[in-house]
Chain A
Amino acid sequence: MKEANLDRRDFLTKSSVGLAGLAIAPGMLLFDLAHARDLAHAPVLNEPVSNKVRWGMLIDNNKCESGCTDCVTACNTENGLSGGTKPTDSQWIRKVQLKDTLTGHVSSLPMMCQHCEHPPCVDVCPTQASFKRADGIVLVDKHICIGCRYCIMACPYKARSFVHEVLTDQKPDVPRGKGTVEACTFCVQRVDKGETTACAEACTKAGHNAILFGDLNDPESDISKRIRTVASTQVRADLGLNTGIRYEGI
């Protein structure tokens, strides 16, 4: 009996050590991982964005040509949008034709997400998927967007679209998917590389120069210099949202 007890004890000791080893081993791996991630943090490719920068746009209604849709085409190409205009198709930017009801004056301008300082879409999003990045760009974190469409109801500018169908062929830098909400991102994939937005680039290329994109917080940027010299307004300024996009000539 004593021998059997010793054997049993031996067995229990060995197997519990084995089990403990099995239990701790993944932890060791994760511990390694923790080390690995510390190393991974070292070669970070860029600094986090900060509110030292505020991206904004100045759109000149006088220079915008009725009938030209280069900005829309450029946006569609850059972001992988279909370009369709069915009620269920996504439109991140659109040309709006305006007719003054009192004077009859006709003009057109591009309308997109205004990247407000106090965005109503951010206030109403239940999951905080709609958020404002530190540098002022209002985005949708599609990882946590549940597709409730409350932000679409809240936006005064009809800037947002809901993806109604399964998407394939997304641009690698512009993920978009069914059941989430999307809008103009100020071409964040380009901005983070130091480039300008696709719409501004296309408008300049077409020779109209109606769209000027830049850093509103940098007093020496083209947009800041121009905003100091010309009269500009926000669309629906009465709402007090302090939009990042201002319009000249309306």
Chain B
Amino acid sequence: MKTGIRLTAFFFSVLIATAVYAAEEPQIPHLDIGKGGQCVEDPQLMRKNHMLLLMHQRNETMYEGIHGKYSIVDCVNCHASTKTNSVLGSNEAFCQGCHVYAAVKLDCFECHSNKRSVTAEASK
């Protein structure tokens, strides 16, 4: 009985060790953050809560006409890749990279433009 338990424990640890060794390094996305610089909020806060901020902002904009600082257009204008002018298109792109990694469906760009707004650039 004791030998059985010890053998099982040994084989189990071998199994786990192999799995850990064989596992790949997590592919944390290397994002192209576009223009970069100072975001409207702290990056860690944004990572956790950008969806809530966007949702609250969209309701304010739609129903009250308030164009606040969490506007998705402003997000895209800043974070769109300076090469492709888009937040989609590759797994390094700002929005697509993390969403593909986290396997969370991106619904925003079914309707919203994923490209940097040229007129906004001209006015800046």
A and B touch in the complex (CB under 8 A): yes
Knowing A44-B68, A48-B66, A133-B63 touch, does A172 contact B76 (C-beta < 8 A)?
yes
Task: Closest B residue to A137 by CB, please name it.
Answer: B65
Complex-state Cα separation, A133 to B69, whole angstroms: 21
Compute the total of residue contacts between A and B using a CB distance below 8 Å.
79
Stretch in B8-16, B25-33, B94-102, B106-114 with 4+ CB within 8 Å of A: B106-114
In the complex, the answer to whether A141 meets B62 with C-beta atoms within 8 Å is yes
In the complex, the answer to whether B45 meets A177 with C-beta atoms within 8 Å is no
From A33, A133, A134, A169, contact of B45 by CB (8 A): A33
- The minimal Cβ–Cβ distance linking A77 to chain B, given in whole angstroms, is 13
Knowing A175-B111, A176-B111, A177-B111 touch, does A49 contact B64 (C-beta < 8 A)?
yes
Contact residues of B between 36 and 88, Cβ < 8 Å to A: 40-42, 44-45, 48-49, 52-53, 56, 58, 60, 62-70, 73, 76-77
From B40, B64, B117, contact of A48 by CB (8 A): B64
Residues of A within 8 A of B120 (CB): 172
Knowing A43-B69, A175-B112, A177-B110 touch, does A36 contact B41 (C-beta < 8 A)?
yes
- The minimal Cβ–Cβ distance linking A207 to chain B, given in whole angstroms, is 26
In the complex, the answer to whether B112 meets A170 with C-beta atoms within 8 Å is yes
Residues of A within 8 A of B41 (CB): 36, 40
Q: Is A220 an interface residue (CB 8 A)?
A: no
Interface residues on A, range: 35 or more
Knowing A33-B45, A177-B111 touch, does A172 contact B64 (C-beta < 8 A)?
no
Complex-state Cα separation, A180 to B112, whole angstroms: 13
- The minimal Cβ–Cβ distance linking B95 to chain A, given in whole angstroms, is 14
Task: Closest A residue to B40 by CB, please name it.
Answer: A40
From B52, B64, B113, contact of A175 by CB (8 A): B113
Complex-state Cα separation, A47 to B60, whole angstroms: 10
Complex-state Cα separation, A37 to B58, whole angstroms: 15
Residues of B within 8 A of A133 (CB): 63, 65
Task: Closest A residue to B60 by CB, please name it.
Answer: A48
Q: Is A192 an interface residue (CB 8 A)?
A: yes
Q: Is A173 an interface residue (CB 8 A)?
A: yes
In the complex, the answer to whether A40 meets B69 with C-beta atoms within 8 Å is yes
In the complex, the answer to whether B69 meets A143 with C-beta atoms within 8 Å is no
In the complex, the answer to whether A170 meets B113 with C-beta atoms within 8 Å is yes
Complex-state Cα separation, A6 to B15, whole angstroms: 34
Complex-state Cα separation, A79 to B49, whole angstroms: 31
Knowing A172-B115, A172-B117, A178-B110 touch, does A49 contact B76 (C-beta < 8 A)?
no
Q: Which residues of A contact B (CB under 8 A)?
A: 26, 29-30, 32-33, 36-37, 40, 43-49, 131, 133-135, 139, 141-143, 167, 169-173, 175-180, 188, 192
New A-B contacts (11) at CB < 8 Å, excluding given A29-B45, A141-B63, A143-B58: A30-B48, A33-B49, A33-B52, A40-B40, A40-B41, A45-B66, A45-B68, A142-B111, A172-B73, A172-B76, A172-B115
11 contacts between A and B (CB under 8 A): A26-B48, A29-B44, A30-B48, A44-B66, A45-B68, A131-B63, A133-B63, A169-B115, A171-B113, A172-B117, A175-B111
Q: Which residues of B contact A (CB under 8 A)?
A: 40-42, 44-45, 48-49, 52-53, 56, 58, 60, 62-70, 73, 76-77, 110-113, 115, 117, 120
- Which 6 A-B pairs rank lowest in CB-CB distance, beginning with the nearest? A177-B111, A48-B64, A172-B117, A175-B111, A49-B65, A177-B110
